[in-house]
A and B are shown apart, each in its own frame.
Chain A
Amino acid sequence: MQKIGVFVCWCGSNIAATVDVRKLVEAAKHEPGVVYAADYQYMCSASGQQLIKDAVANYGLTGVVVCSCSPRMHEATFRKAAQSAGLNPYMLEIANIREHCSWIHKDVESATEKAVILMRAAVAKVNLNVSLTAGKSAVVKRALVIGGGIAGIQSALDIAEAGYNVDIVEKKPTIGGKMAQLDKTFPTLDCAACILTPKMVEAASDERIRIYSYSEVESVSGFVGNFTVKIRKKSRFVEEDLCTGCGLCAEKCPSRKTGNEFNLGMDKRGAVYIPFAQAVPKLAVIDPAACLHFKTGKCGLCAKNCQAKAINFDKKDEIVEEKYGAIVVATGFNPIDPSPFGELGYSRYPDVITSLELERIMNAAGPTGGVLLRPSDKAHPKKIVFVQCVGSRGLRGCDKPYCSKICCMYTAKHAMLIREKYPDTEVSVFYIDVRTPGKNFDEFYRRAVEQYGVHYIKGQVGKVAENAGKLVVHGSDLIMNEQVEIEADLVVLAVAIEPDESARKLATMLTASMDTNDFFTEAHPKLRPVESPTAGVFLSGVCQGPKDIPETVSQASAAAAKVVGLLSKDQLTCNPCVAHSDELLCNGCSACEKVCPYGAITYQDKEVNDHGKREVRRLAFVNEAVCQGCGACTVACPSGAMDLKGFTNRQIMAEVDAICR
């Protein structure tokens, strides 16, 4: 028989205001096995924990029930306290009377009644608890970063700096991500390439960092400290160790029909190409969909001209398998396609463009060589209208319900840069709210208005139409309570951003959870913002939520710190709540093996002593280091041999009984 102590926490008034704690203590004293019951204002405080330790010593307790907040909050705290009192930490259970009782109910009587039942279920469970010992598993000292934008690069650099090996997997032919496409960055107006490309080169030259560019994660298995990841290295049809990145093949390629992705299709590239001049790694890649050799079997001009003999039309995709201790997700974002917003005419008028397209037009390496020319007739636009919140903060199907966070600032940046470079240009911005929280952000926006004379109009745009060959923007000016019509040479839409489409597939592979907008969820929104709820998976950058570059870089470094903390351990303590098979009941049917998602169950022939009868039987054997304790096998087992430590059939039955009593 257990000797159980029940400890009821007031949690200040959080519990005590709705649950009669004294009554709960009295009720606890009558439960089977309970030899001691007490209440205290803050059980999780040092003196509260001391109360538990003292009671364990004074009353010789063998089991402890703490009636307090969620076990997800303080189970670890109280188990540590029990352990320091000499008790096995798994002899402690928590009755959740805060989140599941006092916080959701108002009536003191019925809430107290419920708390008593929850306490009773926990006591019934502890009566059947046994000591458990946690195993250890080794940590693979290598990290994987998925995504090679500024978030992924920063995380990888920081992990490498701490002395660990790290691999970057990037699905595009070059790392750099969206930041490589930007012209200038707010609020300092640094040139994006000037601050990003040195980091790209640093990542490429660091011997601890390995870059899998033009590669995708194919599958992930394993668990924290020991993930096995299959990476598909897509074929470039170019031998990576031979190519020198001279670009001769791209020059000679006769195909010129494909839109250049780096410039968002505003100019053309060959079928063989180098994404951009500062690409890392600087290697050519053949796009088989555009290549004449793949379509007709002829041409081959690139191969003829390549001095290094690097072109290999027969090259196949390669799958590599690697082991990692930790994974950082940095899959980033894409601007949404504004075509569904028919009234804004993005797909109708060539001079309605997105902000990222403007970014390329303004960039010296862009399709216009950095000269502000509009797409339709390559003329200098004299009147430019910006429209904010396109697709953000809306509830229709094509809208995103969230604020994309970066648009206010980059629109102010664009307006400012245009006014500075072309002072004869008239710039108007339609806005709903201007959101500029951030260091020097509001000052930046005010400068656009006060110093650069950008017209900010509070209101939205109803439609963009064409009148006598000119674009006319119909909008509202809510401060004047007027409708306004502005002729425009160029309309720039500040479109919402959305998580990259690869994120959903990846989340399923990692069993990391996502919110309804496909952003990865963090383990705790305030206190653990860079960790995924799945152990060993960390979040970096926009994959977790919209953020600008400084925020992305800080989150990337934070994720790296978490990874380094994990990799610095030689061993991790395993979860001791794993499956266990009773040798005498197992009939070797393989039902459990089939449902195990981890392949933790194997079969071995073993001699058993069944009530004096000795014979060799085929028995299920659980690898405790691999088992994650889901319990699928326990239900599949027809003979009841398989059970889950810490959540045994008898324990859960006892809880059911206690609740239904």
Chain B
Amino acid sequence: MNDIKKTTEQLAFMSGAVTSRCMGCGKCTASCPAFDRMEYHPHQFVYMVETGRIDKLLASKSAFSCLTCFACVERCPRMVEPARLIEAVRLAVERQQGGNRLLPDDVPCVIDDDMPQQAVVAALRKFTK
């Protein structure tokens, strides 16, 4: 239970989204092009984070269906910015899985000449803590 509270706070911190501002108009969900592929929809993300019921969110694949088109951020009249929140949920899921997926020692064998240097650095940043 405590873990959930902590993760909820973390979500708010990472996204910068102020969920309490939401007035439940549903404009984000109305604007969402990925609606059909989502189990939970943008307005539900906001509501579930606001009420601290995120276990279902973290277990669902919905966050990964978001196209990050930012239509909801653009149109939300209350500046709640649901897409940023969804991105934060994705990150939280990633972090919970934990562990490094790419060890520094493995890096040389995946590098080829076509891979840009930036991608290597980015991969290290992303997959190591």
Contact = CB atoms under 8 A, between A and B. Distances in A.
Do chains A and B interact in one complex?
yes
Given A459-B30, A462-B71, 9 more contacts: A343-B74, A389-B25, A394-B77, A395-B78, A396-B77, A462-B30, A476-B27, A478-B26, A478-B29
Contacts of A460: 25-27, 30
A45 interface: no
Interface string A473-513: 01110100101000000000000000000000000000000
B32 interface: yes
A399 interface: yes
A462 B24 contact: no
Nearest to A458: B26
A432 B30 contact: no
Interface in B53-104: 71, 74-75, 77-79
A315 interface: no
6 A-B pairs with the lowest CB-CB distances in the bound complex, closest first: A394-B77, A462-B30, A462-B31, A476-B30, A460-B27, A476-B26
A67 B60 CA distance: 63
Nearest to A457: B26
Contacts of B43: 476, 478
A462 B79 contact: no
B30 A483 contact: yes
A399 B31 contact: no
Interface string B14-46: 000000010111111111100110000101100
A393 B23 contact: yes
A449 B43 CA distance: 26
27 contacts: A343-B75, A389-B77, A393-B23, A393-B77, A393-B78, A395-B77, A395-B78, A396-B77, A458-B26, A459-B25, A459-B30, A461-B27, A462-B28, A462-B29, A462-B30, A462-B75, A463-B30, A474-B31, A476-B26, A476-B30, A476-B41, A478-B24, A478-B26, A481-B41, A481-B44, A483-B30, A483-B32
A458 B30 CA distance: 11
Which residue among B27, B31, B77 has the maximum number of chain A CB atoms within 10 Å of its CB? Answer: B77
A502 to B, nearest CB: 27
A474 B32 CA distance: 10
Contact of A399 (B24, B71, B74, B77): B77
A462 B27 contact: yes
A475 B30 contact: yes
A346 to B, nearest CB: 14
Which residue among B23, B26, B43 has the maximum number of chain A CB atoms within 10 Å of its CB? Answer: B26
Contacts of A389: 25, 77
Which residue among A343, A396, A483 has the maximum number of chain B CB atoms within 10 Å of its CB? Answer: A483
Contact of B26 (A343, A395, A459): A459
Contacts of B25: 389, 432, 459-460
A175 to B, nearest CB: 35
Contacts of A478: 24, 26, 29, 43
A183 B82 CA distance: 40
Nearest to A399: B77
Contact of B30 (A393, A399, A461): A461
Contacts of A463: 30-31, 75
A441 B66 CA distance: 41
Contacts of B27: 460-462, 476
Contacts of B79: 395-396
Contact of A395 (B21, B24, B28, B32): B21
Contacts of A393: 23, 77-78
Contacts of A343: 31, 74-75
A71 to B, nearest CB: 38
Interface in A371-416: 389, 393-396, 399
B37 to A, nearest CB: 12
A399 B76 CA distance: 11
Interface string A74-92: 0000000000000000000
B66 to A, nearest CB: 15
A446 B48 CA distance: 31
A475 B24 CA distance: 13
B124 to A, nearest CB: 38
A296 B21 CA distance: 57
A393 B43 CA distance: 17
Contacts of B71: 462
B19 to A, nearest CB: 14
Contacts of B35: 483
B40 to A, nearest CB: 9
A320 to B, nearest CB: 45
Contacts of B77: 389, 393-396, 399
Nearest to A394: B77
B6 to A, nearest CB: 28
Nearest to B42: A476
A88 B75 CA distance: 63
Contacts of A395: 21, 77-79
A394 B24 CA distance: 12
Nearest to A341: B75
A584 B119 CA distance: 85
Contacts of A459: 25-26, 29-30
